[in-house]
Every structure is written in C-alpha cells, then in structure tokens.
Amino acid sequence: MRFGTTFLFLLLLVAVPAAALEPEQSAPKGLVSFGDSITRGFDATLPADNLNQSWANGTHGFIEKLFGLPDVKSHNERISANFGDSGRRNVVLARNGAKVGSLDDQAAQTAGKDYTYATVLIGGNDVCRDTIAELPTDTEFATDAAVGLVELFNNLPDGATVQVAAIPDIKNLYEIGIDKTALGIIDCKRLWNLTKEGFPCGSMLSPDNTEADREYVQQRNIQYNNILHFLTLIGARHYTNLFISWTDKTFTYPFSADDVSNIDCYHPSSQGQRTIARETWNDGPFKDAQKGS
C-alpha cells in the first residue's frame, strides 16, 4: 500500500507541469546571461569570479556543498526547481568590464543557440568611468544599448523570455563603502584607490569628487536606466514573438552593507547576489514559480 502511494505521488510529480507559462512562451530551460562582473559574481565570496554565486547562473551542487559555500538561489536554480532539470542549459556570456557597447558582441554569440531565457544586467561600467567627463551621453548610451538589445532580440527563438534589469545605484554602493570604512570593517577608500586599475570608477569613487559630482553621476545612472527601460518597452511592443520585461529592483532595492563585497567594496556579496536573484525573480516573468525560493 505504501509502495503504491509513493509510486502515485512520484508519478504526479513527474506528470504535472511545474509552473504555468504564458501561451506560446517557452520554458526557460535554456538560460543565458548578459552583462558584466556583477553577473559573474566577481568578489562575491572569494576573490575574482564566483560563477556559482551569480544571481543569474549560480549553482549549488556537490562541489559548492563540499566547499561549504552559501546558496544564492539564483535564477538558474529556480528554473531547475520549477521547470525541471532535463534539457537544461546554463550559460554565462557576461564579461568583466563590459560596457553596454559590448552587449551586441555578447548577443551575437546567441545566434542559432535557441536559448529560451536571457537576463541582461549591464551598464554599471558606463556609470563607472575614470572621470565624469568620460560618461557617455544619452545618444551614445541609447545607441549602444539599442544595437545590443536588437541583436539579442533578433537572435532569440520565438517564445523566448528576456528580462532586462536596471543598473544598480552606484552612489548607494559608494555610501555603503563609506559606512564600511567608518565602521573599520575595511578601508574602502584605500581599496578603491588600489583597485582603480582593475575596475576604474573614478566618476563615482574618486576622493576628489564633491557630493554634487556624485549626485550628477547618479542622475546619469538614472537616465541610463530610463533609456534601458524605454528600449525594453519598445522591444516588447515590437518583438511580439518574445516575452520581454523590465525590472528596476536592482536600482531601487535598498542594499545594505551585508549586500556589498568586503573584498572590493563594490560588487555584490553572496547576500547581495541572493538579494538580486530574489528581487529580480519576484519582479520578473516567472514570479509565480516559487519552488526553490
């Protein structure tokens, strides 16, 4: 009797669709991520790339458990939990240092690959430049973003889903860094100075900037997000074969000191990656699919 009950239960688990999709929408089993070092989990827990801690592609399998790493409950993990493991792909095309102008290069790699779910989080390196004078104009940013997004939309098969996320509030990261410095956790100002060759962000982090400078850069940050949002809406209207959505949670969420890496005072920590994963998923196209959350 117990055997029969268990059998029936497992049969139902296999047979029932894990999560509802829109008509014509493909299950997001072929995940591909676009963006920069945030999506590569840079400095999230250990120095350099932590792909397994990525909000989009993160994994929590045997090796992560063996090494004792935290689970960020990434989009990748949530997809497997809600839509199953079979036929899964988990691809990261995000590159460290990528600006929005390189989105078209990243997107070109998707041609013919039949990815069914793409995440886009890019633009932080457009806000972060050596100097304020180097920040792209609206036209430059809009042109680069449009070219990249069109390349992506054109390369995805019918029924694919795209989520474009806002550039995080870089000024908020600066303020968190200042708080960490004041608390004596880590000297972020010194660290920013030491690492400026690696990921230059003088436009926001330079000690020579005034508060007015930083507010100006924040306004550029907001304007770039307005452009990305607008282009996403246009794309959603034009590409009716795709399911394109926008989230601003990556900008509006009140990240705290725990969400920012202690290694570089800039990138998201494992907590920050988990926060991004949760907030973007719950504001995204599969928010009703809550297994693995």
Partner 1 sequence: MALLAAGVALLLLALFVAHERRDPGSSAGAPVEDAATQPGEHLAPRSTAGGERAPVQRPSDPLGALNPHEVWRGQVAAAVRRAALQRLGRPLASEAEARLVDAIATVGPAARGLDRDRLDPDDPASIAAMRERTAALVAADQVCRDELGIGIAELMHVLAPGAIEDGAASPAPAG
CA-CA distance, 115 to 269, in Å (whole number)? 28
Q: For residues 204-239, b (16+ Cβ closer than 10 Å) or e, as one string? A: bbbeebeeeebebbbebbbbbbebbbebbeebbeeb
112 binds partner 1 (CB under 8 A): no
Give the dihedral sign, CA 113/119/122/124.
Answer: negative
16 binds partner 1 (CB under 8 A): no
Compose the 68-107 pattern: x for residues touching partner 1 by CB under 8 A, - for all others.
xxx-----x-------x-x--xxxxxxxxx--------x-
Please state the closest distance from residue 12 (CB atom) to partner 1, in A: 11
State which residue, 53 or 280, has the beta carbon closest to partner 1.
53
Compose the 266-285 pattern: x for residues touching partner 1 by CB under 8 A, - for all others.
xx-xxx--x-----------
CA-CA distance, 35 to 228, in Å (whole number)? 13
Please state the closest distance from residue 42 (CB atom) to partner 1, in A: 7
| Count of residues near partner 1 by CB under 8 A | 71
In this structure, the chain runs to a length of 293
Restricting to residues 127-156, name those near partner 1 by CB under 8 A: 128
Contacts of 91 (CB under 8 A, 6+ apart): 30, 31, 32, 33, 57, 113, 115
**H/E stretch holding 164:** strand 161-165
Instruction: Name residue, tokens 């100002």.
Output: 189
Q: Which of 26, 59, 119, 232 binds partner 1 (CB under 8 A)?
A: 59
State which residue, 32 or 245, has the beta carbon closest to partner 1.
32
57 binds partner 1 (CB under 8 A): yes
61 binds partner 1 (CB under 8 A): yes
State which residue, 90 or 232, has the beta carbon closest to partner 1.
90
Please state the closest distance from residue 234 (CB atom) to partner 1, in A: 27
**H/E stretch holding 162:** strand 161-165
66 binds partner 1 (CB under 8 A): yes
